Amino acid sequence: MSEPRSSESGFPIKGVYTPDDLPGDLDSRLGAPGEFPYTRGVYPTMYTSRPWTMRQYAGFGTATESNARYHQLLRAGTMGLSVAFDLPTQMGYDSDDPIAHGEVGKVGVAIDSIEDMRLLFDGIPLDKVSTSMTINAPGSVLLLLYQLVAEENGVPGSALNGTIQNDILKEYIARGTYIFPPKPSLRLVADTFGYCRSEVPKWNTISISGYHMAEAGASPVQEIAFTLANGVEYVRAAIAAGLAVDDFAPRLSFFFVARTTLLEEVAKFRAARRIWARVMRDEFGAKNPKSMMLRFHTQTAGVQLTAQQPEVNLVRVAVQGLGAVLGGTQSLHTNSFDEAIALPTEKAARLALRTQQVLAYETDLTATVDPFAGSYVVEAMTAEIETAADALMARVFEHGSAVDAIEVGFQKREIEQSAYRIAQEIDSGERVVVGLNRFTIDAEEPYEPLRVDPAIEAAQAERLAKLRAQRDSAAVERALVELREAAAGTANVLYPMKAALRERATVGEVCGALREVWGRYQPTDRF
C-alpha cells in the first residue's frame, strides 16, 4: 500500500475514513447552522436564502480608468466592489513623492486626495453597493475619503456598507506595507472602531487577514492560528481603549485564502469559526451572538496561479472557489486566469466573475447548508486542524501577545520555514504543479497583457500641483496641526483627520503628519 499523503498542514491524510475517525463529541462541536459554535455556518439558512457576495478585486492606473472597470463589473453582475490601491497609496505617500517614482498606478489605483476618490466612485450608488478596500496602514484615511464623497452625494455614513482591511499586524508578519510602529498602529485601529461605531455603524472596521500570510507560504493551520491570534490582539486593544466587546466585535471580519486542496480548505474554514466562537465567549465574555460569529471574505489563491499555460488557472480558480463556498464564506473574490502575468484584462475579470455565477446558479451548492457536515474525512480534518491551530496560538501567546511574538520574528520565521518546504517540494517534483513541473508544453501561446501607461505618474503629479495651488493652504495647515495634536494626545484621531481631508489635504500629508508624531516602524534584523 502506498504511503499516505500529507495535508498542506502536515498531518497524514488517510486513504479511507470511517466513523471511528469522528471526534467523540461531534454533536457539541457541530451545533446547528447559525448557532454556537458556528461550525456549520454563521447564519441558519446560509446560501439557501441568498448567495454569498460576489466581489472582484480591481484597481489600476488612474481613478478614471478604475471607475470604468467598476462600471463594467457592476454591469456584469458583481454584487460588491473590491478596491486595489497602488503601493504609494498603501504606504501613505503622494504620487509626486520621490519615493513613489515608478510605482504610481502599477498594482492598484493611485489615490492622492478627495478629488481622486470622487473620480473613482463617480456614478456609483454608494448607498446600494458594498465596497471593500484593501488598505491597511492608511485604511482610516481612505475610509474617511469614501465617507466624504458619499456625503457630497447625499449618502450619510449610516447608509454605507463595506469593509476596510485595516489589518496592520499581518503587515509586520508577511507583507511589509506598514508605516508606524505597532503600538500607535493599534491605537489607530481602535480609534477606527470607535469612530465607525458612532459615524459609520454598518461598516466592517477590519478584515483580519490570513490571506497574505498564506500567499507568503503559511500552511492552513498557520494561516488561521496567526490570523486568530492577531484578532485576539485587536480585541484586547479595543477593550484597553475603553470599548465594550459587544460594541465593536460584531463588525469584525476576516479574510482567508482558498487553495486547490479542497477538503482541507473546507475543514480549515469550519475549524476557524469554531475556535473564534470559543475565544470570544470564553476569553472575552461576549454575550451578543454576532460577536462570536467569524464572518469572512475569501480570495482564491494567487500564489497557486501559473504564468505557464495560464488558461489552466481557470480550472484552479473554480476548484478554489468551490472550496470557499463549501466552507461557508460570506463573500468571494475569484482571481482572473491571467493574474500571474499582469493586471487582469476585462475579459479575464469577467470570466472570473462568471465562475462564481456558475457555482451559485448552475450547481446545487445553494440548496442546502453545510453539505459536508458529518463527513468522516472533513469532520476528522476539522478536528485535527482545530487542535493544531489551538496549539500554535498557544505558542504565539507564550511570547506574551501577538505583537510580542511579531517583534521577535516568531510568525515570520514559522511561515518562512513552511514556504521553503513548499518550494523544495515543487523543485523536486514531489508537489505537482500542472504546466510548471509536469504536463508542460514546448511553446507557450502568445498573450497580450494589460499594461499601465507610465504617463500616469506625471498626470497625477500635475493634478496634485493644481490641487495645492487652488486649495486654502492655511486651512489645510490648521487642520494638520489639529491632527498632530490629537495624535500626540488621547483623542480619536479620525475626527481631525476627516477635517483635514475635507480641506483637501492629501493622503501623503495626512500620513506624514502622523509620522511626525508616531515615527516610522523600523524592523530589526533579529528576524
Dihedrals phi, psi of 326, to nearest 5 degrees = -65, -25
State yes or no: pLDDT of 527 exceeds 70. Answer: no
The 10s digit of each residue's pLDDT in 425-444 is 999 999 999 999 999 998 77
Q: Which of 306, 314, 316 is nearest to 258 (CA)?
A: 316
Answer whether 52's CB lies under 8 Å from 325's CB: yes
Q: Cis (ω within 30 of 0) for the bond into 19?
A: no
Interval 461-477 mean pLDDT? 97
Percent of the chain predicted with pLDDT > 90: 89
* Identity of residue 195: Y
pLDDT at 80: 84
Three-class SS of residue 503?
coil
133-150 mean pLDDT: 97
At residue 453, the pLDDT reads 78
According to DSSP, the β-strands at 203-204 and 296-300 are unpaired
pLDDT surpasses 90 at 3? no
In one-letter notation, the amino acid at residue 259 is R
DSSP string, 124-174: --TTTSEEEEE--TTHHHHHHHHHHHHHHTT--GGG-EEEE----HHIIII
Question: Residue 524: its pLDDT value, please?
Answer: 65
CA 51 to chain centre: 20
Report the pLDDT value the prediction gives residue 381, as an integer from 0 to 100.
98
Please tell me the predicted confidence (pLDDT) of residue 450.
65
How far apart are alpha carbons 515 and 509 in whole angstroms?
A: 10
Q: Evaluate if residue 228 carries a pLDDT over 80.
A: yes
Q: What is the mean pLDDT of residues 334-339?
A: 94
Closest Cα to residue 433, out of 307, 323, 348, 266? 307
Q: 95-121: per-residue pLDDT in tens?
A: 999 999 999 998 899 999 999 999 999
CB proximity list for 410: less than 8 A, separation 6 or greater: 395, 396, 399
pLDDT at 526 over 60: no
What is the C-alpha to C-alpha distance for residues 86 and 62, in angstroms, rounded to an integer? 10
